[in-house]
């Protein structure tokens, strides 16, 4: 079939490395199909050293928009012609809109992270929060936390001290009382935390051997932004501890809905997108 040049198919993608386990293609393609939109979404592996050349290719092919994941959320900043407020505050980009050859950078992770907490009416006032990891997603998390206010203290734990210090600087700049700590103290830190957040990359489960149910309080909230597998080791331990849990797919869904709205100007079909992520069996009980 020959497509009309007046109404071409829009193409979107996600760039990152690794990219093979991303659920974004099935989520967005299902969303586009549900409203009859002539759009397609693919996964595009971009290794760390190939970001600049890949962005040039995306611009030449007139990509309509794209998502950004590990390891490019910070490195992509210099290539944005326009940087919107949340991305500027987080100093990280996860969503890009191509407007007549100009890349506009957004950070929908900020809203995506906080939405599941808001939906549960969880107040962060007076909370001690433990954040594990300090990558691009962690920058969005810190930004989202700063927008809520009233947090007692944020503790950042990361294997690479320089990255932890960079995140600490961001936290201080946005008005959070924060400090860094080491993985050796993870169990004790978790016991003193009202909210435990894991933002380490999928496949690098640093909590597995160091944080079990005995170090998770029953009255705490455990939030793992990793969505494959849906029930991570951390969430399984939180279940045993009878703590409240928040799944990673919830952040993926909320940030994806915001990206959909940025790209299309339409309300996202959130129910359809959620069903695409969870499949016929739904959320784990």
Annotation marks residue 73 as catalytic: yes
30 membership: H or E segment, kind and range: helix 24-34
For the purposes of burial, counting CB atoms within 10 Å of the CB of 149, is it exposed (0-12), middle (13-18) or buried (19 or more)?
exposed
**Token pair 């149910």 in the structure block, residue:** 213
Got the DSSP string for 150-213? ---EEEEE-SSHHHHHHHHHHHHHTT--EEEE-GGGHHHHHHT-SEEEE-SPTT--TTTTT--G
- Write out the E strands in the chain: 10-16, 39-45, 65-68, 82-83, 95-99, 102-106, 128-132, 153-157, 178-181, 195-198, 221-224, 244-246
Separation CA 135–CA 195 (nearest Å):
19
Q: Which of 62, 73, 177, 258 is catalytic?
A: 73
Peptide bond into 18 cis (omega under 30): yes
Instruction: List residues with catalytic annotation.
Output: 73
């Amino acid at each position: 079939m020959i497509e009309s040049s007046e109404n071409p198919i829009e193409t979107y993608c996600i760039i990152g490395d690794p990219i093979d386990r991303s659920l974004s293609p099935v989520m967005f393609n299902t969303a586009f199909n549900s409203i009859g939109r002539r759009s397609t979404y693919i996964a595009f592996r971009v290794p760390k050293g190939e970001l600049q050349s890949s962005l040039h290719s995306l611009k030449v092919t007139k990509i309509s928009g794209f998502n950004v994941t590990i390891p490019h959320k910070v490195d992509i900043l210099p290539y944005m012609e326009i940087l919107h407020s949340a991305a500027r505050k987080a100093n990280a980009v996860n969503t890009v809109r191509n407007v007549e050859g100009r890349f506009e950078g957004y950070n929908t992770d900020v809203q995506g992270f906080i939405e599941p907490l808001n939906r549960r009416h969880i107040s962060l006032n007076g909370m001690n929060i433990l954040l594990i990891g300090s990558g691009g997603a962690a920058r969005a998390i810190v930004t989202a936390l700063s927008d809520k206010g009233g947090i007692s203290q944020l503790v950042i734990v990361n294997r690479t001290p320089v990255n932890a210090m960079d995140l600490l600087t961001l936290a201080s700049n946005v008005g959070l009382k924060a400090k860094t700590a080491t993985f050796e103290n993870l169990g004790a830190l978790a016991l003193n935390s009202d909210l435990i957040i894991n933002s380490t990359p999928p496949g690098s489960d640093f909590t597995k051997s160091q944080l079990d149910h005995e170090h998770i309080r029953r009255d705490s909230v455990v939030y793992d932004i990793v969505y494959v597998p849906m029930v991570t080791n951390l969430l399984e331990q939180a279940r045993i501890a009878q703590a409240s849990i928040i799944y990673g797919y919830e952040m993926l869904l909320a940030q994806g809905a915001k990206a959909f709205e940025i790209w299309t100007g339409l309300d996202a079909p959130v129910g359809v997108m959620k069903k695409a992520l969870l499949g016929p069996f739904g959320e784990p009980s």
